[in-house]
Amino acid sequence: FPESFILTDYLLRQLLEVLRGLVVDEAHIKRNLDFTGGLIMSERVMLGLTERGMGRQEAHEVLRQVAGQAFTGGRSLREVLAETPSVTALLTTEDIDRLLDPAEYIGTAVEQVQRVLRELRAAK
């Protein structure tokens, strides 16, 4: 146990050093996110389609095709989504914009943390 505490102390001190020097450049983060032309948000769009009634497998296939078209055509995901009838039948342009906004999506992080907490509580 003593070695564990020494190691934990060391790791916490290292973490503090990293965090003290951390600079969050929001403009740079946005530029990096925009670099993908929205492709980084394809999972969120797929989930949005399933929430509107499209089957998960179909939504996955639609996004696979749309993402491929956007990537190979040098276009944004938003542009290709807006031209895809199976997408526009379920999502408005406002829906698409919302789903492509990284600030509106944190993935399954909350569910994952809650699951871990449930498992830890159950293990007591």
pLDDT above 90: residue 21: no
Helices (H), 52-92: 56-73, 77-82, 85-88
Q: How confident is the model at residue 109 (pLDDT cuts 50, 70, 90)?
A: confident
Whole-angstrom distance, CA of residue 113 vs CA of residue 119: 10
pLDDT above 90: residue 124: no
Q: In b/e form, how buried is each residue of 8-42, taking b as 16+ CB within 10 angstroms?
A: eeeeeeeeeeeeeeeeeeeeeeeeeeeebbbbbbb
Q: Please report, rounded to a whole number, the percentage of residues in the chain having pLDDT higher than 90.
A: 77
For 46-61, what is the mean pLDDT?
Answer: 96
Contacts 24+ apart (CB under 8 A), 113-117: none
Whole-angstrom distance, CA of residue 93 vs CA of residue 15: 43
Residue 47 and residue 79 in contact, taking contact as beta carbons nearer than 8 Å: no
For 54-82, what is the mean pLDDT?
Answer: 96
The two tokens of residue 94 are: 């406002």
For 11-26, what is the mean pLDDT?
Answer: 91
| Mean pLDDT, the chain, whole residue set | 93
The two tokens of residue 78 are: 């938003």
> What is the gyration radius of the CA atoms in the chain, in angstroms?
20
76: DSSP letter: -
